[in-house]
Amino acid sequence: MRRPARLPASLVPILSLAAVLSVAQRPVAAEQLFRYDFDSGTTNPSSVVSGVTASPITAQNLSTTIFANVYQTSNYGSTFDSSKYFEFTATAASGKALDLTSLRFTPETPSQANALTAYVRSSVDSFVSTIYTRNIPSNSFFFNETIDLTGAAYQDLATITFRFYGTSPSTSSILYYDAVNLNGSVVNAVPEPSTYAMALAGLACGGFSTWRRRKRA
């Protein structure tokens, strides 16, 4: 009976590395990453999963407050002004990355005489493109909105920031946010292609040197 051929010892490290790399992007968690519900009277996140850090919501050049567990924003201009926004940042832990699926939030304008328009941009393209826009009619309640983030640009991220903007005929008009949720997965970070190349090249050189020494022996 013939014995099965043995794998050359010089190939073992290379195949072992390939096996590790093949599972490098295996998901650790797929769920709601965190949410802002404003129930505590602050803009701090809640229900933050392991492997991700979420910043408090902060505002630039807007008037904001929390009332009745909703985030109130005002002082929007009649034309889009990129210097007026509120934002939050999600950051993956060391050795991890974020694969996002959606951003969900609930804008509303109860008891407002003026309609407002809401916009969202992200740091993926340095806040250039608007990934969401919606006219929020006056006296409107609970628009449950979802932004699809399953595209390639929102995968394998070390960090990302979202900014929320608005426009209104009156700076006194208030745009409310009842909740903000970021959804996705925390995954094992994938090394850069150059890291793969260097590791494989080193192992290949080591295997070749071992083979030459054995051949000469």
pLDDT digits (tens, 9 = 90+) for 19-70: 444 444 445 445 899 999 998 899 999 999 999 999 999 999 999 999 888 9
Task: Inform me whether the pLDDT recorded for 198 exceeds 70.
Answer: no
Contact 32, 46 (CB under 8 A): no
At 70, list the tokens: 């909703």
Confidence of residue 8 (pLDDT cuts 50, 70, 90): low
| Angle of CA points 208, 18, 215, to nearest 5° | 15
Q: What's the chain's length in residues?
A: 217
Partner residues linked to 187 by β-bridges: 27, 97
Confidence of residue 101 (pLDDT cuts 50, 70, 90): very high
| Alpha helices in 53-149, H assignment, sequence order | none
- Contacts (Cβ under 8 Å, ≥6 apart) of 130: 119, 120, 121
CA distance 110 to 136: 10
CA distance 111 to 175: 10
pLDDT digits (tens, 9 = 90+) for 164-188: 999 998 888 899 999 999 999 999 9
CA distance 118 to 147: 13
The residues spanned by each domain of the chain are: 25-196
pLDDT attached to residue 27: 52
User: 25-196 sits in which CATH class?
Assistant: mainly beta
